[in-house]
A and B are shown apart, each in its own frame.
Chain A
Amino acid sequence: MPTKTKSPERLRVRKTYKLYIGGAYPRSESGRTYPVTDSHGELLAHAAQASRKDLRDAVRSARGAVTGWSRATGYNRGQVLYRIAEMLDGRREQFAAEVAAAEGLAPAAALANVDAAIDRWVYYAGWTDKYAQVAGGTNPVAGPYFNFSLPEPVGVVGVVAPQDSALLGLVSVLAPVLATGNTAVVLSSERRALPAVSFAEVLGTSDLPAGVVNLLTGFTAELAPWLASHRDVNALDLTGVEPAARRDLQIAAAENVKRVHIPAADTGWDADPGIARLGLFTETKTVWHPIGV
């Protein structure tokens, strides 16, 4: 983000805003960019306008990361999620400035927003090795069998991040997806894209294995249909899609019986996240074994 500096003697070094796919930061293969402005309409930067092919690359990379991430221990995943909070905290002023520019928040409100995003990672970091105890358990079947149920990740989750809340909204939908062991292809807020791109840099320095999160900037209406119809995506979070556009995406998602999340009435991202989002992208697996000698 080109921070407008008051010191004329030195020219600031501006950042190129790129995609985050498979742990790398490529430009869109299409070579396209689009202008991103602040809340007053002033140009902030040109962000990469991801293409269908970028999206397919992102899905492939997310699929490749499923085995490693889903089989990592909850303790290990928790440490990585906590590390994200650490990295984010170290850059909180930068993010506050970016969020303020993107959303038009006053400095104090923007800082509070970033702090909430940091704390959300801490919250979900603590869930990684507890959710299975809450959502799973043994089932007392009427016979000589040991039977237990566990939540497992659904696999690759396509996430359309909230359009309004560039960082806290993104974190609130992404963290529970990762906490339960899924990998993600995320479409960032279209108009407020820059905090998401900077956040991808945080992910890249947080011991998160490459491919676990892939983040694309671009036009939601162009990319979401490809995400919804992709056969190698297991589930879809349509939080960032306007209600009128959801139906077509849900129809496309039925092609491989995707689990689709449509949020209920907007309660705001400041609210206590609770447990609900952890269950959205899990499957219950039940295992039977006879008891005998």
Chain B
Amino acid sequence: MAKFPYAPAPESRDVARLKPSYQPYINGEFRDGTGEAVKTINPADETPLAEVSEAGEKDVDDAVAAARKAADGSWGRLSGTERGKYLFRIARAIAERARELAVVETLDNGKPIKESRDVDIPLASAHFFYYAGWADKLGYAGFGPSPRPLGIAGQIIPWNFPLLMAAWKIAPALATGNTVVLKPAETTPLSALVLAEIIAEADLPPGVVNILPGGPSIGAAIVDRAADGAIDKIAFTGSTEVGKIIQRSLAGTPARLSLELGGKAANIVFDDAPLDQAVEGIVNGIYFNQGQVCCAGSRLLVQESVADELIVSLKRRLSTLRVGDPMDKNTDVGAINSAAQLAKINELSDSGEAEGATRWSAECTLPERGYFFPPTLFTDVSQSHRIAREEIFGPVLSVLTFRTPDEAIDKANNTPYGLSAGVWTEKGSRILSMANQLRAGVVWANTFNRFDPTSPFGGYKESGFGREGGRHGLEAYLAH
């Protein structure tokens, strides 16, 4: 099939207004951290973007002290109406600087500019706007007539949606009157530090939000402070492995915990589904953000009678995806976030072949520099293969087949994870029956990877507990 030629349409890097160096934001001030200064890398070309001064143990203590002072003082005493107005300010400021933030995000993360521009940044702004409105209405949220904040929320977020995850964490915490110590991921600190500028410019009282760039040791230090009683709640988004470590660390302590962990979602296509739409949904499900999405539809379960036809269509569609420079507005699939992640994707994909599955990758020319992986799918996959069980967190789809709805349910639920699932069929009663039986926190029917601030998100089983988004998302930050 002939490919339409596209001339490059690069977004301007200057829009990001990158600074040579970035600092932690503690007690209302930007200052050098006591950790190391590290370079953050553009994964699309492996060049350094900026230097980031990482936080150290002392900075964690200072941030916690500042957050405590704010929780007990200026922020704790503020009315819900005024708290909400600060959040509205942040929402507006993110929208105002949306283009800048989108470019920062794409440079630091490697995701296509059209995704950061059309998904990450608008949703981050919308999330603040949504929770802003809750701040003076908490008595109506169904958690008692006058719910109280917990105190300090320690928040640890991943690198796949850096700004959006910061918004998911900070907005509900502030709306409910908590203060925040947040650690962005080590490979993607920049957008959170631009958000810190926005928060500073919004005149939030010092200590209400503290942002500490750093590696796993800083995440562990934040969890330790919670175990010691200095932090009241931990909210973590990341791997199930680390989630379990945190759950153990907080055992026997009064600290509250919410976990949003890994997934291995089934995307189930019945023979009566509109296959063209399903193909688009499958592509969105696993190749969106290079598949680096905890709720990615990484296991395609297709009814046997349409499997061959669907796979042909899918391969044809994947061959038209444009893989390459994330800053090009035409790019569909950008860079993998880090060399380490690329190595993990390679290792698991190799295991797929070694265990007997058949690999197919879209023919595409990958850039010579940077961390890239072509859209890939595996057929002849059995449920015992690692690529059908483990979270790959990359643009790799494992295709399995089924004959009956019961078999589809059994296979879909045959995983320790339970974050999301997809169903494609034209039959309404079947959609509702499948949605009932799928053990997953989010079920997308005839769509996939939709997100909204009003819509609760979170997992069953080893995908974690607690919900983010919507009225339900308030509960994780309220004492009751």
Contacts and interface: CB of A to CB of B under 8 A. Distances in A.
Interface in A33-50: none
Contacts of A290: 446-447
B367 interface: no
Contact of B461 (A139, A140, A256, A276): A256
Contacts of A71: 436
A288 interface: yes
A163 interface: no
B416 interface: yes
B465 interface: yes
A140 B454 CA distance: 6
Contact of A255 (B244, B446, B447): B244
B392 interface: no
Interface string A222-249: 0000000000001000000000001110
A257 B244 contact: yes
Contact of A149 (B243, B251, B446, B456): B456
Nearest to B449: A288
A288 B464 contact: no
A145 interface: yes
B460 A283 contact: yes
A142 B452 contact: yes
Contact of A251 (B248, B435, B454, B462): B248
19 contacts: A139-B452, A139-B455, A141-B450, A142-B452, A142-B454, A145-B447, A145-B450, A246-B252, A247-B252, A250-B247, A250-B248, A250-B252, A257-B259, A284-B472, A286-B442, A286-B455, A286-B456, A288-B442, A289-B445
B247 A254 contact: yes
Contacts of B431: 289
Given A256-B462, A283-B460, A289-B431, A143 B470 contact: no
Nearest to A154: B460
B126 interface: yes
A52 interface: no
Interface in A133-172: 134-135, 137, 139-143, 145, 147, 149, 154
Interface string B233-267: 00000001001100110111000000101000000
A257 B455 contact: no
Contacts of A139: 452, 454-456, 470
A15 interface: no
Contact of B465 (A137, A250, A259): A259
B251 A247 contact: yes
B240 to A, nearest CB: 7
Given A139-B456, A149-B470, A286-B455, A134 B461 contact: no
A112 interface: no
A106 interface: no
Interface string B460-480: 111111010011100000001
A142 B471 CA distance: 15
Interface of B: 126, 142, 240, 243-244, 247-248, 250-252, 259, 261, 416, 431, 435-436, 440-447, 450, 452, 454-458, 460-465, 467, 470-472, 480
Contacts of A154: 460
A288 B450 contact: yes
Contacts of B244: 254-255, 257
A257 B262 CA distance: 12
Q: Indicate the size class of the contact surface on chain A.
A: 20 to 34
Contacts of A276: 480
Contacts of B460: 154, 283, 285
B480 to A, nearest CB: 7
Contact of A257 (B243, B456, B470, B472): B243
A287 interface: yes
A135 B143 CA distance: 10
A247 B142 CA distance: 30
B312 to A, nearest CB: 25
A284 B247 contact: no
Given A145-B447, A145-B450, A257-B240, A284 B251 contact: no
A283 B455 CA distance: 14
Interface string A51-86: 000000000000000000001000000000000000
A149 to B, nearest CB: 5
B452 A257 contact: no
A141 to B, nearest CB: 4
A288 B454 contact: no
A289 B445 CA distance: 5
A167 to B, nearest CB: 27
Contacts of A256: 416, 461-462
Nearest to B442: A286
Contacts of B248: 250-251, 254
A156 to B, nearest CB: 12
B455 A141 contact: yes
Contacts of A137: 471
Contacts of B457: 286
Contacts of B443: 285-288
Contacts of A140: 454
A250 B251 contact: yes
Among A137, A149, A246, max chain B CB count under 10 A is at A149
A118 B142 CA distance: 27
A152 to B, nearest CB: 8
B251 A254 contact: yes
A283 B441 contact: yes
Contacts of A254: 244, 247-248, 251
Nearest to A275: B142
B264 to A, nearest CB: 14
A143 B126 CA distance: 13
Nearest to B123: A142
A141 B243 contact: no
Interface in A87-121: none
